[in-house]
Structure 1
Amino acid sequence: MKLISKFIDKDSSGQVTLLPEEQEDMWHAYNLIAKGDSLKATTIRRVVSESATGSTDKSTVRTVLTIQVEAVEFDTRACMLRVAGRNVVENKFVKMGGYHTIDLELQRTFTLAKHSWDIIALERIDDACNIAARADVAAVVLQDGLANICLVTQNMTIVRQRIETNIPRKRKGSATNHDKAVVKFYDQVYQAVLRHVDFDVVKVLIIASPGFVKEALQAHMLATALRTDTRSILDNRRKLLLVPCSSGQKHALTEVLAQPAVQAQLADTKYAREVRALNRFYTVLAQDPDRAFYGYDHVRLAAERGAVEVLMVTDELFRSADIPTRRKYIALVEQVRGGSGNAANGVGQVLVFSSLHTSGEQLAQLTGVAAVLHFPLPDIEEVAAAEQEEEAERQRLAEAEAGGGDGGAGR
């Protein structure tokens, strides 16, 4: 996803213009667009025109339309997004208030306006537009004189830099020119790694090549980092993984990622983080149930006491058409992160699960929200039950007063 423009006012209202570049971006758009938003995009409209003789002609035209969103549908197989609503801006092909469905397309911009942009929506834009932040795996695929520095996300591989240089052959009696060219080539690759690989995000840097080129590059990188005291390399040397491959071309990355040694490393990336968190929740729930809770009321009480270590919540809850529901889960996220509430020391980690993954489906069966706590809270269930009884009593009294008022009016 590419961010074309963004304007958010002090009151959190505003609009963003985005360009979806690949199918995964449609999933991000689905999570951003909500009922009541305003969507401006290019669309195709069927038009019926009537001639002076009374004959009619049907045709299709491409036009720019702005609708107020009423429904959003996402096709998980085709990764297609359909947004339905009523026209709110004058258009010569669609009358004001006219109903229309927009199919969002790849490589075509759309503008989304909201009355209030919340923290979850803004973070999703940042995640969708920052390819580097989503890349758990980096790879350098090289051979003599050719290197591709790649970032591997969940659904695509991006070549951040391609390096090509001429390396002279070794001549009999002198290898000076060859050795200088090789050192210069390794230096270029080293600088590209520093520029494009964020070791705070990346869990493994694969160095793949035919022959012993990978070992030579690793030795050069470590020696250069030691000489210049480059901590990002020295502190993360364990993340370097050497793997053989057939060439330095990008397509060799496919065979690299299929190797068992690489698969073992991928198990410790973002791909499996949510699964591990959910498995840990089940373990704690079984062994120490006072430190694991699910359901909004129980988790909210734990968050108010600053006890939440890991909050797990499905993205479906942030797509709720009911605005108060969305707001209460956003407030819960902010509270766990230490952004609000009475527990400044209770900062916790927040994981937003995708409802398209099996882990998200499992979490949805637990009401869509669960938490592992820093410390046990054995009284939470009793407090939650007491609050529910009080709320039920308030509703009963309110209904009784309303009924009494109606009766008095009738008399």
Structure 2
Amino acid sequence: MKIGYIKQSSNDKSQTIINLTPEDKEDLFTIYQIIDPDDEVIIKKMFTTKQEDSNKKTVTELHEIKLKILSYEFDIKDEYLRYKGVTIPDETGVANKDISIGKFLSFSIAYTHPMTIYKHNLNKYAKRLLQDAENAMNKSEIGAVVLQEGIAHVCLLTSSSTIMKQKIAVTLPKKKNAEDATKFNDLNESFYRKIYDAMLAHFDFNELKVVLLCSPGFFADALQKHILKFAEQEQNEDILKNQESFLLANCSTGYLQGIDEVLKNPKYMERLEDTKFVKDVKLLDQFMEHLDNDDDMAWYGRYEVMKAARLDAIDTLLMSDMVLKSNRVAKREKYLDLIDLVEANGGKVHIFSSLHTSGEELNQLTGLACILKYSIPTLDERGEDEEADDDFSDSGAEGTDDEKEEMITSKA
């Protein structure tokens, strides 16, 4: 993400003006986390207007439009983030020059044009999201290719997501005779060449910590040999001098699930353990192990976690970013206060991305969980005085209606 500027509004001290340009799928999720209903945006949109002096001919042009946000639709898998809003006056005189005020419009976030967000009450979590989005070091740490016969997926693993950059598919014939065998070999060579070209297009070999090649069987090994062969033919120094960054791994499928298998495999943890992606998986596995052991060291649910925080009993707080996207700003602020409380008591806070399978799993457990400093068997028991003092009035996995809607949105 490119950040143009972040500054306080001169007209409204509670409003922060953010100018940015999204560049990839992860930036869409950042914008989704930041923009709320009633925030305002200036975006560029193709708009058709009627020309009164030209026999009512219509003209389609790119206009700058300022809207007050009313609602949103979000599907991260299809890179789809769409907002509905109503046009409002623009005190800067930049937007809505030819667009009437009070007009209801919808628009999708595009990677093409910068946008300006007028954000009410920019909290510290949103500020951190913007800092992380702008900092390239928090982007891709691992490049990955997962493949099997005739199909490969070239991906980048960031601190928050797995981004598939390109899919390569080739239909390979059965080797029934010599002619088929020759055709097979030619197509197979072409298959590996296409993967190599895709990696050149999407990977920065000088910046990636690990280039992960994983597959069932020996396809990953064959791919590495072809990569080095092509690199030697072209004298590609970026690849040749970074050969030690390649990691071969075995998995059961050439689809994206294969990457998750590798990340959970202790055999490969040592090479990958300094990346946030793997830390998420390891931490959730640790939490689930406590649940399986039934040792009362791990709890989930809003009431239980808040009670543990008050008792200064939380060693690690596991929180989904969807929790911090609550439609109710007051509830969102309480979650931020919970983070402050845990950190003030010496606990660790780990926020999971819903773009990861680990984040999706945590969302199924209310999006809020903790690992304790010591065992508390009665943490879920409520006294009469505690009932009235429950800041999160909705307990357990049920959640409120707005939170159920949030979970559905994140899984769409």
Using the size of structure 1 for normalisation, the TM-score is: 0.62
Counterpart for residue 123 of structure 2? 118
Give the aligned residue type for 1:330: L
Q: For 2:287, which of 266, 281, 284 is the aligned residue?
A: 281
Instruction: Check the 8 A contact 1:65/1:89 in 2, yes or no.
Output: no
The amino acid that maps onto 2:106 is T
Counterpart of 1:404 in structure 2 is none
Tell me the residue number matched to 2:71. Answer: 71
User: 1:116 Cα shift?
Assistant: 0.5
Shift of 1:121: 0.5
Are 1:297 and 1:384, in contact at CA under 8 Å, matched by a contact in 2? no
Q: 1:47 Cα deviation (Å)?
A: 1.8
Identity of aligned residues (%): 26
The 3 A distance-change label for structure 1 pair 384 and 118 is: farther
RMSD of Structure 2 on Structure 1 (CA): 3.8
Instruction: Give me the whole-angstrom Cα distance separating, in 1, the residues matched to 2:291 and 2:14.
Output: 38
Written as runs of structure 1 = structure 2, the 5 A alignment for 1:127-142 is 127-137=132-142
Counterpart contact for 2:141–2:210, Cα < 8 Å: no
Q: Partners of 2:157 and 2:361 in 1: how far apart?
A: 26
Where 1:102 maps in the other structure, the secondary structure is strand
CA distance in 2, matches of 1:387, 1:379: 13
Shift of 1:245: 3.8
> Which sections of structure 2, spanning at least 5 residues, go unmatched?
91-95, 144-155, 166-205, 212-226, 251-258, 263-267, 394-412
| Among candidates 22, 25, 37, match of residue 23 of structure 1 | 25
Q: C-alpha separation between the residues in 2 aligned to 1:250 and 1:56?
A: 58
Instruction: State whether structure 2 residue 370 is matched by structure 1 residue 371.
Output: yes
Cα distance in structure 2, aligned partners of 1:272 and 1:385:
42
Deviation at 1:120, TM superposition (A): 1.0
Alignment of 1:1-400 (within 5 A): 1-8=1-8, 13-51=15-53, 55-90=55-90, 91-137=96-142, 153=158, 155=163, 245-246=228-229, 247=231, 248-250=236-238, 257=246, 259-260=248-249, 264=268, 267-268=272-273, 269-338=275-344, 346-383=345-382, 386-388=385-387
Unaligned runs of 5+ in 1: 139-150, 158-195, 207-243, 339-345, 395-411
1:87 Cα deviation from its structure 2 partner: 1.2
**Whole-angstrom distance in 1 between the partners of 2:353 and 2:285:** 16
Q: For the structure 1 residues 250 and 103, does the alpha-carbon distance in structure 2 shift closer, same or farther, using more than 3 Å as the test?
A: farther
Inter-CA distance 287–111: structure 2 relative to 1 (3 Å threshold): same
Q: Distance in 1 between matches of 2:243 and 2:301?
A: 42
Aligned residue pairs: how many?
296
Equivalent-residue separation in structure 1 for 2:378 and 2:279 (angstroms): 30
In the TM superposition, residue 384 of structure 1 has moved relative to its aligned partner by 6.3
Structure 1 equivalent of residue 194 of structure 2: none
Aligned 8 A contact 1:293 1:372 in 2: yes
Check conservation: 1:26, 1:79, Cα contact below 8 A.
yes
Q: Displacement, 1:129?
A: 0.8
Report SS of the residue matched to 1:35: coil
Mapped to 2, the partners of 1:299 and 1:33 lie a distance apart of 27
